[in-house]
């Protein structure tokens, strides 16, 4: 069967994303200095940008400029170009910065490519796990070379649910209130510190579900596609897509009651 132009584009985008993620991951893993410094803060004093975040983004954007110079780029550490090809790369050069800063293993490089607003390719590379999760729209999800699949939906009370917290104190306090009311109703709550990895953990069955308020597109773009291609439903508030307001991911049968409960708890507002 002859490959279509769409198939060829997806294949090229996947190859580029994998190469960029693997190179950036190796750089971050092997180049982490013992005296790693904080280059700046973003939303608050505890929201850090490390020297390595910035260097990783430069590595990725340099490769993209060489391979696909007409594409747009949206990156966490400031990359923002329009491009003329209709393709936009959405990159988090180091998701889980605080984990990385402290020497914890739950961090990843997240790279997605979207065209006309639709995500076509997603790659999340977690070097300390030795894992690369990837997905192409309509072609399924994989962890390394194995197919990724969500767990069948458990009863709500048996669900292991991942979440995260923002950097602003007032938002964290509100998120803690929501967790405090949710945790007696589910099996337990996990907080890993990397949204991209959490979404991949739903895709691979390590979490039954995940939700978080306050994510940015670079946090969820790749992981959202990977989770969906592994069989999860994703969204925000009922009827809304994933957004900065709220991100929810879970298999059918668990997604609906979790989303409804989060709506009742007001998880979508501070």
Each domain of the chain, given as residue ranges in start order, spans: 5-147, 156-265
Q: Is 7 annotated as a binding residue?
A: no
Q: Please give the pLDDT value at position 49.
A: 65
Q: Please give the pLDDT value at position 37.
A: 63
Window from 45-59, 69-83, 85-99, 242-256 with minimum mean pLDDT: 45-59
Window from 45-49, 104-108, 124-128, 184-188 with minimum mean pLDDT: 45-49
Each residue of 30-39: pLDDT tens digit? Answer: 988 777 666 6
Q: Please give the pLDDT value at position 40.
A: 61
DSSP string for the chain: -PPPHHHHHHHHHHHHHHHHHHHHHHHHHHH--TT--EEEESSSTTSEEEHHHHHHHHHHHHHHHHH-TTSEEEETTS-EE--SSSEEEEEEEEE-HHHHHHT-S--EEEEEEEETTEEEEEEEEEGGGTEEEEEETTS-EEETTEEP-PPPPPPGGG-EEEE---SSHHHHHHHHHHHHHHGGGSSEEEE-S-HHHHHHHHHTTS-SEEEESS--HHHHHHHHHHHHHTT-EEESSTT--S-SS-EEEE-TTTHHHHHHHHHHHTTT--
Each residue of 63-73: pLDDT tens digit? Answer: 999 999 999 99
Q: Which two tokens stand for residue 188?
A: 């337990």
**Average pLDDT over every residue of 131-158:** 98
The pTM of the full predicted model, rounded to 2 decimals, is 0.94
Q: Which two tokens stand for residue 92?
A: 């988090």
Please say if the pLDDT value at position 1 is more than 50.
no
Please say if the pLDDT value at position 144 is more than 50.
yes
Q: Which two tokens stand for residue 10?
A: 């997806």
Q: Is 92 annotated as a binding residue?
A: yes
Question: Does 156-265 match 5-147 at the fold level?
Answer: no
- Per CATH, domain 156-265 is 1.25.10.10: no
Please say if the pLDDT value at position 266 is more than 90.
yes
Q: Is 94 annotated as a binding residue?
A: yes
Q: Please give the pLDDT value at position 38.
A: 64
C-alpha to C-alpha distance for 211 and 230, rounded to whole angstroms? 17
CA angle 59, 80, 131 (to 5 degrees): 45
Choose which CATH entry (2.60.120.10, 3.40.640.10, 3.30.540.10, 3.40.50.2000) describes domain 5-147.
3.30.540.10
Q: Interhelix angle for 195-203 vs 217-229, to 10°? A: 10
Please say if the pLDDT value at position 48 is more than 70.
no
Q: Is 262 annotated as a binding residue?
A: no
Q: Please give the pLDDT value at position 260.
A: 98
**Average pLDDT over every residue of 203-225:** 98
C-alpha to C-alpha distance for 147 and 135, rounded to whole angstroms? 10
Q: Please give the pLDDT value at position 109.
A: 98
Q: Rounded mean pLDDT of the chain?
A: 93
């Amino acid at each position: 069967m002859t490959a279509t132009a769409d198939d060829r584009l997806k294949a090229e985008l996947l190859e580029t994303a994998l190469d960029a993620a693997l190179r950036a991951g190796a750089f971050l893993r092997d180049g982490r200095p013992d005296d790693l410094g904080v280059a700046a803060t973003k939303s608050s004093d505890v929201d850090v940008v490390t020297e390595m975040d910035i260097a990783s983004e430069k590595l990725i954007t340099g490769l993209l400029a060489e391979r696909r110079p007409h594409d747009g780029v949206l990156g966490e550490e400031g990359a923002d170009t329009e491009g003329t090809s209709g393709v936009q790369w959405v990159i988090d050069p180091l998701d889980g910065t605080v984990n990385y800063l402290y020497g914890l293993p739950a961090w990843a490089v997240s790279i997605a490519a979207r065209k006309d607003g639709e995500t076509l390719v997603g790659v999340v590379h977690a070097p300390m796990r030795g894992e690369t999760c990837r997905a192409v729209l309509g072609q399924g999800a994989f962890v390394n070379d194995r197919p990724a699949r969500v767990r069948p939906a458990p009863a709500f009370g048996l669900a292991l649910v991942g979440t995260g917290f923002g950097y602003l104190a007032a938002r964290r306090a509100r998120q803690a209130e929501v967790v405090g009311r949710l945790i007696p109703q589910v099996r337990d709550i996990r907080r890993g510190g990397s949204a991209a990895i959490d979404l991949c953990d739903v895709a691979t069955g390590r979490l039954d579900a995940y939700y978080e308020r306050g994510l940015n597109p670079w946090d969820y773009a790749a992981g959202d596609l990977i989770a969906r291609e592994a069989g999860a439903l994703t969204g925000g508030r009922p009827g809304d897509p994933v957004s900065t307001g709220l991100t929810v991911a879970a298999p059918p049968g668990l997604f609906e009651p979790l989303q409804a409960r989060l709506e009742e708890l007001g998880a979508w507002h501070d």
